[in-house]
Copies of this chain bind each other. A is one copy, B any other.
């Protein structure tokens, strides 16, 4: 089920001024190749989790300028009628490749590649970046948080603090892709089947004359699904005693038991240990302890390291905004054009060497060791290259080229799949829950050293010899030019 608007006009204005310029200079139909990639993993982590492809496909499938859009653009007094006519009859005709959602991805490799008339391939820059940047950011953050929870339940609770409505809706989707068990975001469940959950707020408890009455009423309404929020007044003196009282007096006679208690404030390590003991002593060792309140991967790791007795975490603002680093810096760069059918690579130079792009129309192989089934490296090649499995292959560091490794016993997976051909969508997205399973499976091919939070091992993203040589030659040509 989709939940889309026509987002054609969600575009940086310069994409439109450029598009008009391409047409005005009769180069709108020149075939161009663009790569979307990122340069750095947020939170100094070792990997990101690709997400957002399904929404990218929806956007590209529904590109359409309305008469109202065209009237608006005409009112700007800078666009030609020829251009406005072009938009009126706009027909998307690009080829697009993307790495499927749930794959671990790394700096420098294309996540999305677009080939098509530059007037179109340029135009879709804003939405490709916005879509993939956002969901990849949140899926990555969610995965870190879930890994910190070590198999305990993690619930996404952040809608109220998200950055805008789609921040909540697609953020919730991305959180599930990253590994969360469920979400508080109802509409996300309705659209994507992300499993919405929820119990009570403090206001429920406050509305009644006392906490006992509040819990009792709740138990009568939800005898099969009863989680009490226990910190409205005092967790140990009131919340837990009332939980036990209602469990004994109301639920037990019905043959039911509470599912859990939630603690939303205070020292959760200390409280969870005390609460666990009180519940156990009362015969409720099956009642789960859920905590929430400004959690992230570091706090979760900390409380678990200190022996907190917690079965599940509700994680809000720090997940849904990726608070510790709320920007995923994906970029979209021209890498080639076609002149008379021949691909001419392009490169973006920068004083900052990490900002130099990889030229040409490319593809990516992930290389797995046959013995361990672990990923050894990703290898970016030119699109016309191919790798023969198990045939000796030398990988080398593209900067420190003396660092090299010869491998023989390996298999490969091509990372990017074609999602649009001649402007038509040709890829069907899996369900969000299936993507979550895929994420887990693919992550298991990475060594733990790449996955750790602090100082992870840098996963190798290497260039084939031909690509490396092309890049060196282009850089040298550039340097020579400015030495003149």
- Interface residues of chain A, those whose CB is within 8 Å of chain B, are 3, 5, 7, 9-18, 20-21, 24-25, 27, 30, 32, 34, 68-69, 72, 76, 78, 118, 122, 125-126, 129-130, 133-134, 137-138, 157, 159-171, 184-187, 189-190, 196-204, 206-207, 217-218, 220-222, 225, 232-234, 237-238, 265-266, 317-318, 321-323, 326-330, 332-334, 337, 346, 348-352, 355, 478, 482
Contacts and interface: CB of A to CB of B under 8 A. Distances in A.
Contact of A164 (B69, B170, B334): B170
28 contacts: A10-B187, A12-B157, A12-B185, A12-B198, A14-B199, A15-B201, A18-B201, A21-B200, A25-B220, A32-B207, A72-B189, A78-B225, A122-B201, A122-B203, A125-B201, A134-B162, A163-B166, A164-B165, A164-B170, A164-B171, A165-B166, A166-B166, A203-B334, A233-B482, A238-B482, A265-B355, A322-B326, A326-B326
Given A9-B186, A13-B186, 15 more contacts: A10-B165, A11-B186, A13-B198, A18-B200, A20-B221, A25-B217, A30-B207, A76-B196, A78-B222, A126-B160, A134-B162, A203-B333, A207-B346, A265-B355, A318-B327
The 3 closest A-B CB pairs, nearest first, are A14-B198, A13-B198, A164-B166
Nearest to A164: B166
Nearest to A25: B217
A197 B13 contact: yes
Nearest to A238: B482
Nearest to A325: B323
Contacts of A30: 207
A233 B350 CA distance: 7
Contact of A163 (B68, B326, B330): B326
Contacts of A133: 160-161
Contacts of A167: 134, 163-164, 166-167
Given A10-B169, A129-B161, A321 B326 contact: yes
A337 B130 contact: no
A45 B478 CA distance: 46
Contacts of A201: 14-15, 18, 122, 125
B161 A164 contact: no
B134 A34 contact: no
A198 B201 CA distance: 46
A243 to B, nearest CB: 16
B21 A222 contact: yes
Given A14-B201, A25-B217, A187-B10, A160 B78 contact: no
A207 B12 contact: no
Given A165-B164, A225-B78, A334-B207, A17 B129 contact: no
Given A130-B168, A198-B15, A206-B334, A190 B9 contact: yes
Contacts of A217: 21, 25
Contacts of A329: 161, 317
B233 A327 contact: no
A348 B206 contact: yes
Contacts of A221: 20-21, 24-25
A204 to B, nearest CB: 5
B164 A207 contact: no
A203 B337 CA distance: 11
A202 B482 contact: no
A238 to B, nearest CB: 7
